[in-house]
Amino acid sequence: MREGIENGERLHRRGRVEMKSNKQRRTEIMARRHARAAAKQAATARRSSARQLSEMTFVEPWMVALNNSFAVPRRQYSDYAFTCRDCAKPQVWTAARQHWWYEVAGGHVWSRAVRCAPCREAERLRVKVARQIAEAGLARKRERLAVVVASEERANEA
């Protein structure tokens, strides 16, 4: 008797579930889908904002090239205004570029931007050319020295 009632209730319940109209079911499915999409979007936004914060704002001391320096000079990056050393134009060294310089490129912990991008490029070229000239001069000097040494050795043998 009891079992019969329970079965009846279960049947009744199942009956109610099956009574849902297609439209109702579709609405529920769409609502669930929307909720899932919204949750996913929120999670993505949270993750990307957390990443942005860690990448743009905070120093990760273990990533900074400390070069025997025990002090970490800044806890946070912020845009840094300066004047180009060569062309004297006002510049801004952005927080993002600072993060890249200290923690990706391995820039010295106490170094700071002093030149604008074109002047930096020109300076790099100037240093490169100067080094090539110096190395060529050194090579000629070594060559001359080798000639002198060889002639002295011949003189000693004679």
Contacting residues toward Zn ion, per CB under 5 A:
84, 86-87, 116, 119
- Nearer CB in complex with Zn ion: 74/120: 120
Which stretches does DSSP call E strand in 10-73?
Answer: none
CB of 133 to Zn ion, least distance (A): 24
Nearest residue to 90 (alpha-carbon basis) of 60, 122, 126, 114: 114
- The 3-state DSSP class for residue 54 equals helix
| CA 123 – CA 84 distance, rounded (Å) | 12
CB of 124 to Zn ion, least distance (A): 13
CB of 86 to Zn ion, least distance (A): 5
Instruction: Enter the tokens of residue 20.
Output: 């849902």
- Nearer CB in complex with Zn ion: 55/86: 86
Cβ-contact 65, 103 below 8 angstroms:
no
- Nearer CB in complex with Zn ion: 66/84: 84
